[in-house]
């Protein structure tokens, strides 16, 4: 029998199997759901909260990887001529997951807000904390799709660009990425500890 951990697909499938078994064993009320045959809205919110969290982990995890690992590593690699593998194979794949995880996180968060979406983004009716965090997340999403990704395409040679354009693109992408890293600190605190957030998600 093949070990599921030998492939990423097998690893994900095994994780889902463990998730299903855990849900069958546990009382769903303990994890914020009503029960397998209970209230559909509670089940929906439970799964949407899970999707929001797991997509957010992928997004912010890759954001931190880029800023804390890849950028300094590429500087060192450029000095000894070993950076080609990172820019050709690692960076494009990481950026693929990065930008789509960002979008998935925002969409899932918006779905969780539901009817409270307007109140959150207008910072009213008790949704000030989650709303401020949502605005920060929205700015970060714009930076990913509007600044980081288009400029990384030039840097990595996916789009034609002159040396001067690549130099500008590096600066813009770096500042946008650093801005997102900066905003992620207060955003994560607001999103995980806002009183309205806890009430909204039944925590």
Q: What is the pLDDT of residues 157-195, one digit of tens each?
A: 999 999 999 999 999 999 999 999 999 999 988 887 654
Rounded CA-CA distance 109/48 in Å is: 8
Question: What Cα–Cα distance (Å) separates residue 21 from each residue in 13, 25, 97?
Answer: 12, 6, 28
Q: What is the pTM of this model?
A: 0.83
Rounded CA-CA distance 59/122 in Å is: 25
Q: What is the pLDDT of residues 1-14, one digit of tens each?
A: 889 899 989 998 99
CB atoms within 10 A of CB 99: 18
Q: Which two tokens stand for residue 21?
A: 């078994």
Q: What is the pLDDT of residues 68-105, one digit of tens each?
A: 999 999 888 888 887 788 888 899 999 999 999 999 99
CB 132 within 8 A of CB 189: no
DSSP string, 57-83: HHHHHHHHHIIIIIHHHHHHHHHHT--
Average pLDDT over residues 17-43: 66
Q: Is residue 41's pLDDT more than 80? A: no
Rounded CA-CA distance 193/117 in Å is: 18
């Amino acid at each position: 029998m093949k070990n599921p951990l030998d492939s990423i697909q097998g690893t994900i499938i095994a994780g889902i199997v463990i998730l299903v078994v855990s849900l069958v064993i546990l009382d769903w009320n303990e994890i914020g759901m009503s029960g397998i045959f209970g209230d559909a809205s509670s089940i929906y919110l439970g799964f949407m909260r899970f999707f929001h969290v797991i997509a957010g982990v992928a997004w912010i995890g890759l954001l931190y990887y880029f800023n804390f690992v890849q950028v300094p590593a590429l500087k060192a690699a450029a000095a000894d001529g070993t950076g080609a593998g990172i820019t050709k194979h690692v960076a494009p794949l990481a950026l693929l997951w990065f930008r789509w995880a960002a979008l998935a996180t925002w969409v899932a968060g918006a779905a969780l807000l539901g009817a409270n979406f307007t109140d959150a983004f207008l910072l009213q009716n008790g949704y000030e904390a989650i709303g401020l965090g949502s605005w920060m997340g929205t700015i970060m999403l714009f930076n990913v799709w509007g600044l980081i990704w288009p400029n990384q395409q030039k840097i990595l040679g996916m789009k034609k660009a002159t040396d001067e354009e690549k130099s500008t693109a590096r600066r813009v992408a770096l500042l946008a990425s650093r801005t997102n890293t900066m905003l992620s600190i207060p955003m994560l605190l607001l999103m995980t500890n806002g009183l309205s957030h806890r009430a909204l998600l039944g925590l």
